[in-house]
């Protein structure tokens, strides 16, 4: 079925020319076979030949003749993400890989005497060398992960669910790109969560529905012990209950009182760890200077959100590029679980800080990916522990321990080296209707169920990176 012809209008402006391309791609991606859509994209941007629509090639000429490479890059980005976003929703993931591969066409490197074609190819080449293209490649990472995870220089592909978060929170990105990034991140997290639940429930048996059960983590045999130790913290001392009690206690507090009590709350369940004293001293020193002008103001959700984000900076990265001194110190001493629990407790009282935290995780992955896997194993260990911790407490599956040996004692504390009793317990998991972060999950679910033909605005109650 052919799309409706876009009526020719003499003297198209740059914005009008861009819209012609967007409207054309939005229509055909919903009507055509994906392979035909990809070929049409190739004809237009790579081969630069006539399209089914008589208006797209002239519109591209308007964009090229404007001689503004940044506007061209904005155009090609949005065109790509119109396809990616729709193919993501339709679960046609292999087409996303094909779109990325399209930019490897040797024709782009071929010399030409045509000034227009020369400009197009030069701009395409520079696009493929840009951060924008690296972001696009993340959407195809799920197809390369298994082939690259053991390569020392490509271990970061395993954490695509975090790497795409900066694309979602950056308001300067096209709406299509932000929606696609959010959908991909959610899908990868859901897959990890499901695989972890299957492994924890059936890993001891080795099979589920006649198929071998795979460990979705990179922690090997220690995965089940770690999950049991984390899940053992429940009842009145569970992290969710402690967060609820803390929020109840501070609701009538001043901002200054909140800042003074925050480190004690964060470190309450990890106080037996030697590193906790160092973390508390650091926070006690830094927090008084945070929004000092609001010291005596009544505490409100905005101050909780902004302060939680500052604590994330102290614990992760303060310049969005390099690890903070506290992050390096905590992890270098083997305290990955301690840090993951502190971050979990922070998110449980400031749930809207989750995108901010995941964006900082992405910054750290980008920093460490320059190093071989063997040189940053301690960081990879933290990322694995972080994923597991938030899958257990931050998603919509509830984990519980069931004692299978009545003679066994209690499960040891998670920070204890004695794990001899953990084998006497089995992990039981069940799906919940709402997760602790249910307001975020609900937004994501609504985005899937009501996918607009022209993407709508992003939700306003989730932290986003303001456009620069």
Please write the tens of the pLDDT for every residue from 134-170.
999 999 876 555 444 445 567 898 999 999 999 999 9
Res 354: pLDDT: 96
Domain boundaries, the chain: 14-129, 188-449
Query: Does 23 score more than 50 pLDDT?
Result: yes
Closest CA to 266 of 334, 390, 350, 162: 350
Least confident of 66-75, 242-251, 435-444, 446-455: 446-455
Neighbours of 107 (CB within 10 A): 12
Please write the tens of the pLDDT for every residue from 434-464.
444 443 333 333 333 333 333 323 333 344 5
Where does 286-406 show beta strands of DSSP type E? 397-403
Closest CA to 246 of 235, 257, 233: 257
pTM score over 0.85: no
For residues 378 and 43, what is the distance between their CA atoms, to the nearest angstrom? Answer: 47
Neighbours of 232 (CB within 10 A): 21
How far is the CA of 207 from the CAs of 179, 198, 203, 258, in angstroms?
36, 9, 7, 49
Show the tokens assigned to 260: 């003074």
For residues 171 and 468, what is the distance between their CA atoms, to the nearest angstrom? Answer: 9
């Amino acid at each position: 079925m052919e799309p409706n012809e876009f009526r020719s209008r003499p003297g198209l402006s740059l914005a009008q020319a861009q819209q012609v391309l967007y409207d054309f791609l939005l229509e055909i991606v919903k009507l055509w076979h994906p392979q035909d859509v990809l070929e049409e994209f190739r004809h237009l941007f790579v081969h630069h030949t006539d399209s089914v629509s008589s208006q797209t090639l002239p519109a591209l000429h308007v964009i090229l003749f404007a001689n503004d490479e940044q506007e061209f890059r904005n155009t090609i980005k949005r065109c790509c993400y119109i396809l990616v976003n729709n193919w993501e929703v339709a679960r046609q993931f292999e087409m996303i890989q094909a779109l990325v591969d399209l930019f490897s066409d040797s024709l782009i490197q071929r010399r030409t005497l045509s000034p227009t074609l020369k400009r197009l190819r030069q701009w395409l080449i520079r696009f493929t060398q840009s951060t924008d293209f690296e972001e696009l490649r993340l959407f195809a990472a799920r197809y390369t992960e298994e082939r690259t995870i053991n390569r020392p220089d490509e271990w970061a592909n395993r954490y695509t669910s975090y790497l795409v978060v900066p694309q979602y929170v950056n308001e300067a990105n096209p709406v299509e790109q932000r929606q696609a990034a959010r959908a991909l991140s959610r899908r990868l997290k859901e897959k990890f969560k499901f695989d972890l639940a299957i492994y924890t429930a059936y890993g001891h048996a080795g099979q589920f529905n006649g198929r071998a059960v795979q460990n979705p983590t990179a922690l090997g045999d220690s995965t089940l012990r770690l999950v049991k130790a984390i899940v053992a913290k429940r009842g009145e001392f569970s992290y969710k209950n402690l967060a609820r009690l803390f929020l109840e206690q501070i609701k009538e507090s001043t901002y200054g009182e909140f800042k003074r009590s925050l480190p004690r709350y964060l470190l309450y369940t990890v106080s037996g760890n030697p590193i906790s004293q160092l973390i508390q001293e650091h926070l006690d020193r830094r927090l008084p200077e945070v929004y000092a002008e609001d010291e005596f103001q009544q505490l409100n959700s905005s101050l909780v959100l902004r302060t939680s984000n500052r604590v994330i900076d102290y614990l992760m990265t303060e310049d969005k590029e390099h690890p903070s001194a506290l992050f390096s110190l905590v992890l270098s001493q083997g305290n990955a679980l301690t840090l993951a629990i502190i971050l979990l407790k922070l998110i449980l009282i400031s749930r809207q800080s989750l995108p901010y935290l995941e964006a900082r995780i992405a910054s750290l992955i980008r920093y460490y990916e320059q190093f071989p896997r063997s040189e940053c194993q301690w960081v990879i260990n933290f990322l694995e522990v972080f994923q597991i911790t938030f899958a257990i407490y931050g998603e919509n599956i509830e984990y519980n321990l069931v004692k299978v040996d009545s003679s066994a004692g209690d499960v040891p504390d998670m920070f204890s080296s004695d794990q001899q009793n953990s084998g006497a317990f089995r992990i039981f998991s069940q799906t919940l209707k709402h997760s602790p972060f249910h307001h975020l999950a609900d937004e994501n679910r609504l985005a899937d169920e009501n996918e607009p033909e022209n993407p709508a605005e992003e939700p306003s109650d989730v932290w986003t990176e303001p456009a620069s």
